[in-house]
Structure 1
Amino acid sequence: MNPKQIKSSLKTLISLKQPVFIWGAPGVGKSQVIAQVAEEMKRQLTDVRAVLLDPVDLRGLPSVKNNVAHWSPPSFLPTEGEGVLFLDELNAAPPLVQAACYQLVLDRKVGEYSLPDGWTVVAAGNRETDRAVTHRMPSALANRFVHLDFSVDVDIWLEWAEGQGFSEEVLSFIRFRPNLLHNFDPKQNEKAFPSPRSWEFAARILAAAPAPEVELSLLKGTVGPGAAAEFEGFVRMFRQLPDPDVVIDQPRMADVPEEPATLYALCEALAKRAGEETAESIVTYASRLPSEFGVLLVRDAAKKHRGIVETPAFSNWATANSDVLF
């Protein structure tokens, strides 16, 4: 399921108070999506790293009152309101810790503690095939969850990343090499590899303008040496692009690059400048591009400024490219 489908499913299951487990490879954004859903539903989020717990931690410590033993629950468990109790990395926890979660997940209580009515248990973890630190989940615990598989979707990630203000270099490169958004091979045992999470780190590093002599090393340590080398070459090309403002000023005269990577980058830069005053020029220039890049440019520009479809240039362009559009 892509992230939007995961979010929709979570909203349904949380409203039903149905425990749910999200499975996915490292770095795909499982925790981030769960946090977004909690925020959109205006619910508290309590993030409990199950792998850090001991079996007795959920039940709490004993105390004696009137010669009777009582269990004092831990402070991290909620006592009021509405929210999501997020058991992250649950299947990385030792079997005894997972066993301690049985009652909490199904019966909404453990020892003398009861989960408030407005709270739902959500868990997440890596797949056993990813060779991350995992323990096989006992069937008794697995049967207490609805299980959802999280998959990466390039278009959805790009939409999110643009909203976060990621640099044009990162967005253009992922459009050009979508297979490198997430390229994880558990057999390689690499410390750094391309993933939605590591590309977010890379975007932050670029925004901090590191010294040129360390930029490549930083990227290698973030997305891995192979992806970093490709990205660095793309960035060098990107930084030598024709000035997008000159293209907008002279859409009929500006040069049209021949390299696909350069075209991807230029389309990204132009689309970000879409507006009432630039719409006509952008569509005019798009009409001079190879059809697939013209469609890319106009589509992305229309996301930025919907009025672009009302320009005379768009009507001419749409007629000329009807075989591609329809």
Structure 2
Amino acid sequence: MNIQRAKQEIKDTIEAYLDKDEYGAYRIPEIRQRPVLLMGPPGVGKTQIMEQIASECDIGLVAYTITHHTRQSAIGLPYIEKKTYGGNEVSVTQYTMSEIIASVYDRMEVSGKSEGILFIDEINCVSETLAPTMLQFLQCKTFGNQKVPKGWIIVAAGNPPEYNKSVRDFDVVTLDRVKVIDVEADYPVWRKYADQAGIHGAVISYLNIHRDNFYRCETTVDGMRFVTARGWEDLSEMLYAYERLGKTMDEDVVGQYLQYPSIAKDFANYLELYNRYQKDYQVDEILSGVIRPGTLSKLRYAAFDERVEIVSLLLSRLSADFKNWWETDRYVGHLYAILKEFQRRSLPSAADGTAPTDTSSASQAHTTLADKASAFSADTARSVSENEASYTSILESIVNDLKLQVHSRLDAGQSEKALTAEYRPVFQACDRYVLLLSERIPENSGAAFDLLRESFMKDRERLDAAAERTSARLEYAFDFMEAAFGESQEMVYFITELSVSLYAMDFLKEHESPRYYRYNKSLLFDDAQTGIRRQLDDIRSEMRGE
């Protein structure tokens, strides 16, 4: 199965294992809660989905790559303890608590979550001395003499033997005690992830045409040749860095990430064309509404792969616009929730019954933000005998509550990078709000709220501007697509790629594009999709010399 299906399978397993009866006991007894063993090639996202699962299930996460550990760190260190048996005192070997088990208890203490996932990566690549410990761990859910705490689900991951010479096979006794999920590399699933992760447009457009090069792993007389999803993502980060620094990436640099020489060479050549097409076709001009007759004339005689590449360049630019709108929308949604909570705490009688009572509802606020923003009423201004210090303290208290929620998610093992990207601009805006209250010293709570509302509406204008710009650029893209290609396979490709983009779909739900829906309805029949896939397959066959 693909990694997306595997993720859902693990989530379903966790929900089943953590389901409790009316007395608070787990319905599936602990002895029947088989550890999940996730087997698949390296770099397909096995480790990455664990953070997502922990976040979505609101549980803790402790992750270890077991090959980095020794037997002592896994089972603990021995010590001598005196015991009396039958009236005789004897010395008995005991073990300190395993570092891994201790980490689970530490995570429970700092996060406040009593349930979670203990994830052990590369479990079948351990040393000979540690192998029996791993078998005991999977069979008995213990490290040494210490059990994994109740409510913590064991998920382990490993690579099949064809990808790693140090892999050890599990015996039947062990396999009969685990729930095995086999994962395969799947480009369409990764493509959806790539859109959310902001993978470089050159990588996405190349792989859209050369899907066979997404994941390859072969053993040759010269050694291993491979390219993985992880390699493409790391290469994407370096591409962005080279662009910022004004550097040119060549085949040698590409080969440091795509360790499959023919694919590295092919992508390096493609990257050169990608950069050249950006200059030749002036994509930014097209998205500004400028369509040069020379561009249309040149495309009429261009090969199919070049035409698809121009569409990919348009999609790459639009993808950045959709993502910017989505992030701005989320940012403004968090601020809206904070201001509504400020309104509730400072003006209790002004609450309309629909205001969120805590900042955790911020993620739900952005979808109807335009309607909610208009609900901020000027008639909430009333004289209240409070000084300005109380208003700043109210706002700071709300922000501190939100920071505690974020820290709790970090303590539970969620991604620091993702949470920082989401909340850093929100906290920076709140610092501005606090400074505004301190400098302007409002006379009453109504005036304090109006000050914050006025500043918020400027942030709200950013969202309107982002939406207006994105809508305009999408319409200009349609203008160009109609002028250059009409209702062609290139238009099918354009509509199809918009339809698989999370950010594009979120945008189109709130900002209607009649042409998108018209083309989506009229073009995306099976025969149209089959036609473009057939042509793309032909290109791949030509590239392979078939």
The TM-score normalised by the length of structure 1 is 0.87
Summarize deviations over 1:139-180 as a string: whole Å, max 9, x none: 222222111111112122122122122221111111111111
Structure 1 residue 232 and structure 2 residue 268: aligned?
Answer: yes
Provide the residue aligned with 2:480 in structure 1.
Answer: 285
Summarize deviations over 1:265-304 as a string: whole Å, max 9, x none: 3222212327321333323433443732211112323542
Contact 2:74 2:99 survives alignment (8 Å)? no
Does the C-alpha gap of structure 1 residues 173 and 325 become closer, same or farther in structure 2, counting only changes over 3 Å?
A: closer
RMSD: 3.0
Contact 2:79 2:96 survives alignment (8 Å)? yes
Summarize deviations over 1:7-42 as a string: whole Å, max 9, x none: 001112233243111111122222222232223323
Structure 1 residue 107 and structure 2 residue 140: aligned?
Answer: yes
Does the C-alpha gap of structure 1 residues 20 and 318 become closer, same or farther in structure 2, counting only changes over 3 Å?
A: closer
- Which has the higher mean CA deviation after the structures are superposed, 262-271 or 279-288? 279-288
- Which has the higher mean CA deviation after the structures are superposed, 122-131 or 63-72? 63-72
Structure 2 counterpart of 1:38, from 54, 77, 82: 54
Read off the aligned partner of 1:236 and give its amino acid letter: E
Contact 1:23 1:125 survives alignment (8 Å)? yes
Structure 1 residue runs of 4+, over 6 Å off? Answer: none
Provide the residue aligned with 1:270 in structure 2.
Answer: 314
For this pair of structures, how many residues does the alignment match? 326
Provide the residue aligned with 1:218 in structure 2.
Answer: 253
Summarize deviations over 1:216-240 as a string: whole Å, max 9, x none: 2111121032112111111111112
- Which has the higher mean CA deviation after the structures are superposed, 45-54 or 222-231? 45-54
Structure 1 residue 59 and structure 2 residue 254: aligned?
Answer: no
- Which has the higher mean CA deviation after the structures are superposed, 72-81 or 188-197? 188-197
Q: Which structure dedicates a bigger proportion of its chain to helix? A: 2
Give secondary structure in 2 for the equivalent of 1:151. Answer: coil
Does the C-alpha gap of structure 1 residues 156 and 313 become closer, same or farther in structure 2, counting only changes over 3 Å?
A: closer
Summarize deviations over 1:240-276 as a string: whole Å, max 9, x none: 2211233342459442262333233322221232732
Give secondary structure in 1 for the equivalent of 2:251. Answer: helix
- Residues 125-274 of structure 1 correspond to what in structure 2 (within 5 A)? 125-187=158-220, 190=223, 193-209=226-242, 215-224=250-259, 225-241=261-277, 242-248=281-287, 249-250=289-290, 253=293, 254-255=295-296, 256=299, 258-271=302-315, 272-273=317-318
CA deviation after TM superposition for structure 1 residue 82, in Å = 2.0
Q: Give the distance between the partners of 2:495 and 2:99, measured in 1 at CA.
A: 53
Does the C-alpha gap of structure 1 residues 190 and 265 become closer, same or farther in structure 2, counting only changes over 3 Å?
A: farther
Q: Give the distance between the partners of 1:66 and 1:131, measured in 2 at CA.
A: 45
Contact 1:98 1:141 survives alignment (8 Å)? no
The TM-score normalised by the length of structure 2 is 0.54
CA deviation after TM superposition for structure 1 residue 309, in Å = 6.8
Structure 1 counterpart of 2:97, from 73, 92, 95: 73
Provide the residue aligned with 1:315 in structure 2.
Answer: 518
Q: Give the distance between the partners of 1:213 and 1:313, measured in 2 at CA.
A: 36
Structure 1 residue 4 and structure 2 residue 7: aligned?
Answer: no
CA deviation after TM superposition for structure 1 residue 4, in Å = 1.0
Contact 2:43 2:229 survives alignment (8 Å)? yes
Give secondary structure in 2 for the equivalent of 1:124. Answer: strand
Unaligned runs of 5+ in 2: 18-32, 84-90, 109-113, 323-469, 531-546
Read off the aligned partner of 2:284 and give its amino acid letter: D
Does the C-alpha gap of structure 1 residues 265 and 165 become closer, same or farther in structure 2, counting only changes over 3 Å?
A: same
Q: Give the distance between the partners of 2:201 and 2:231, measured in 1 at CA.
A: 16
Provide the residue aligned with 2:491 in structure 1.
Answer: 294
CA deviation after TM superposition for structure 1 residue 65, in Å = 4.3
Read off the aligned partner of 2:96 and give its amino acid letter: S
Structure 1 counterpart of 2:508, from 306, 309, 318: 306
- Which has the higher mean CA deviation after the structures are superposed, 84-93 or 34-43? 34-43
Read off the aligned partner of 1:13 and give its amino acid letter: T
Structure 1 residue 25 and structure 2 residue 41: aligned?
Answer: yes
CA deviation after TM superposition for structure 1 residue 134, in Å = 0.6
Q: Give the distance between the partners of 2:168 and 2:229, measured in 1 at CA.
A: 25
Does the C-alpha gap of structure 1 residues 262 and 61 become closer, same or farther in structure 2, counting only changes over 3 Å?
A: same
Q: Give the distance between the partners of 1:136 and 1:317, measured in 2 at CA.
A: 49
Provide the residue aligned with 2:381 in structure 1.
Answer: none
Q: Give the distance between the partners of 1:37 and 1:180, measured in 2 at CA.
A: 28
Larger Rg: 2
Q: Give the distance between the partners of 2:147 and 2:516, measured in 1 at CA.
A: 64
Unaligned runs of 5+ in 1: none
Q: Give the distance between the partners of 2:145 and 2:50, measured in 1 at CA.
A: 28
Q: Give the distance between the partners of 1:184 and 1:94, measured in 2 at CA.
A: 24
Provide the residue aligned with 2:544 in structure 1.
Answer: none
- Which has the higher mean CA deviation after the structures are superposed, 202-211 or 247-256? 247-256
Contact 2:34 2:177 survives alignment (8 Å)? no
Q: Give the distance between the partners of 1:10 and 1:217, measured in 2 at CA.
A: 39
Q: Give the distance between the partners of 1:205 and 1:175, measured in 2 at CA.
A: 20
- Which has the higher mean CA deviation after the structures are superposed, 19-28 or 212-221? 212-221
Give secondary structure in 2 for the equivalent of 1:158. Answer: helix
